[in-house]
């Protein structure tokens, strides 16, 4: 009996250890502008998400004070070997080390890269990838603690048919039935904006091999009627269209970073970068966009 119990416990222990070993921690390899004037950019991996059973959870990120920045590092893994990925490809490995404390709100979750060799990059530096800070940086790249990087859903830039374009504009109008714009007579005030469907422009679109579509829409001059500052245009909203052509609003103020099966469950996750006034971070959508995990921080 004792021998049997020992064997059972060993089997259970091995199963638990194997499950823990397969936990995916997701980071983003970033190009970070220097904090002070004249300081060069530096590369860092920001730890953002981790699998929790069949779900994804975000690491705690939005610190309200300096004391939080000093203590929150204990909630992050100390050292991680990362597989840097892009567009279903593994670009190489780097190792990151979590500091004793994060110095700034915008640096929460960032690891110092301690491995030697070249750090992967894609393309050239551009302000398109910088969000609120506005400096030219390299495109952020997803980094995974596991060697999971394939994109089984095969998301790619896509054209949108006239029919789907019409459905997207209908959902845009349902989501934003009442919008305003800056008054031409008084720039400190807002006036109702009676926009037409053809005024809603398609900025970008992506499609998967399952027939799903992602689309980012834009309406020039559109302002939230509750905007007390009378000048901030609404952030471009994203919508998803499933294979049955049902349209859902996802969120606004973000841009697509990459797609991949980062937990090896046979389906791709979709990672967006948050791009809002004084806000940054990442959003991960999974389970056919029914679920999400959000890592968000303030710059100041």
Asked if 142 and 271 touch (Cβ cutoff 8 Å), the reply is yes
Tokens matching residue 205: 């679109």
**Contact partners, residue 202, CB within 8 Å, separation at least 6:** 160, 165, 168, 215, 216, 217, 218
169 φ/ψ angles, rounded to the nearest 5 degrees: -70, -35
**Contact partners, residue 110, CB within 8 Å, separation at least 6:** 30, 32, 44, 45, 46, 47, 102
Whether the CA torsion 17, 23, 29, 34 is positive or negative: it is negative
With residue 166 as reference, give the H or E element that holds it. Answer: helix 162-175
Domain ranges of the chain: 24-150+272-300, 156-260
CA distance 235 to 70: 33
Q: Can you give the pLDDT of all 300 residues of the chain as single tens digits?
A: 554 544 443 333 433 334 444 799 999 999 998 877 778 899 999 999 999 999 999 999 989 999 999 999 999 999 999 999 999 999 999 999 999 999 999 999 999 999 878 899 999 999 999 888 878 999 999 999 999 999 999 999 999 999 999 999 999 999 999 999 999 899 889 999 999 999 999 999 999 999 999 999 999 999 999 876 666 778 999 999 999 999 999 999 999 999 999 999 999 999 999 999 889 999 999 999 999 999 999 988
């Amino acid at each position: 009996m004792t021998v049997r119990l020992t064997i059972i416990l060993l089997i259970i222990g091995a199963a638990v250890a194997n499950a823990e070993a397969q936990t995916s921690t997701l980071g983003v390899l970033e190009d970070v502008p220097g904090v002070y004037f004249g300081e060069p950019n530096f590369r860092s991996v920001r730890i953002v998400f981790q699998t929790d059973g069949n779900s994804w959870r975000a690491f705690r990120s939005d610190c309200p004070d300096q004391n939080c920045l000093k203590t929150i590092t204990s909630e992050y893994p100390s050292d991680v070997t990362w597989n840097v990925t892009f567009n279903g490809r593994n670009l190489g490995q780097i190792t990151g080390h979590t500091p004793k404390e994060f110095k700034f709100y915008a640096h929460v979750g960032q690891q110092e890269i301690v491995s030697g060799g070249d750090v992967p990059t894609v393309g050239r530096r551009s302000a398109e990838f910088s969000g609120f800070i506005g400096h030219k940086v390299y495109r952020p790249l997803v980094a995974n603690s596991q060697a999971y990087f394939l994109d089984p859903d095969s998301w790619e830039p896509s054209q949108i048919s006239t029919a789907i374009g019409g459905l997207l504009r209908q959902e845009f109008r349902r989501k934003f039935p009442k919008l305003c714009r800056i008054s031409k007579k008084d720039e400190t005030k807002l006036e109702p904006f009676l926009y037409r469907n053809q005024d809603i422009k398609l900025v970008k679109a992506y499609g998967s091999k399952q027939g799903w579509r992602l689309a980012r829409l834009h309406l020039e001059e559109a302002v939230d009627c509750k905007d007390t500052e009378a000048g901030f245009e609404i952030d471009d909203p994203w919508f998803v269209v499933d294979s049955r052509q049902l349209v859902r609003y996802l969120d606004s103020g973000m841009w697509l970073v990459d797609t991949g099966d980062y937990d090896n469950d046979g389906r791709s996750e979709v990672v967006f970068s948050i791009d809002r006034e004084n806000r940054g971070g990442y959003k991960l959508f999974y389970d056919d966009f029914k679920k999400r995990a959000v890592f968000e921080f303030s710059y100041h």
